């Protein structure tokens, strides 16, 4: 992977990111990747409506955590 290569997100990627964002706890993340779980990311319907009820700070932290987990699983690392 080239460090400046664009990341192309598929529908499955978006489902996974959404599932990670809405389930940031470690136990919930395990369920996201368990294909037998009702919470597996493949079952996410991106066409459904979703409303946020968290404070902005919590939203930002959860979104950052979700993106980090997603990129880490694909072999990306952050460098300063």
In a domain, 1, yes or no: no
Helices of type H across 1-80: 11-22, 26-33, 56-73
In a domain, 33, yes or no: yes
In a domain, 23, yes or no: yes
Number of domains in the chain: 1
pLDDT attached to residue 56: 84
Cα 32 to its chain centre, rounded Å, is: 9
Torsion 51-53-59-65 (CA) sign: negative
Q: What is the pLDDT along the chain (80 residues), one digit of tens a residue?
A: 566 677 788 899 999 988 888 876 888 889 999 999 999 999 999 998 888 777 888 888 888 888 888 998 888 887 76
pTM of the predicted model as reported, rounded to 2 decimal places: 0.72
In a domain, 2, yes or no: no
In a domain, 3, yes or no: no
In a domain, 69, yes or no: yes
In a domain, 6, yes or no: no
Give yes or no for a contact between 54 and 62, defined as CB atoms under 8 angstroms apart: yes
Return the structure tokens found at 7: 């990341």
């Amino acid at each position: 992977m080239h460090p400046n290569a664009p990341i192309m997100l598929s529908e499955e990627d978006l489902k996974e990111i959404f599932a990670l964002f809405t389930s940031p706890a470690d136990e919930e993340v395990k369920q996201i990747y368990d294909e037998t779980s009702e919470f597996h990311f493949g079952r996410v319907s991106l066409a459904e409506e979703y409303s946020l009820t968290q404070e902005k700070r919590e939203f930002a932290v959860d979104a950052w955590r979700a993106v980090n987990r997603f990129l880490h699983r694909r072999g990306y690392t952050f460098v300063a």
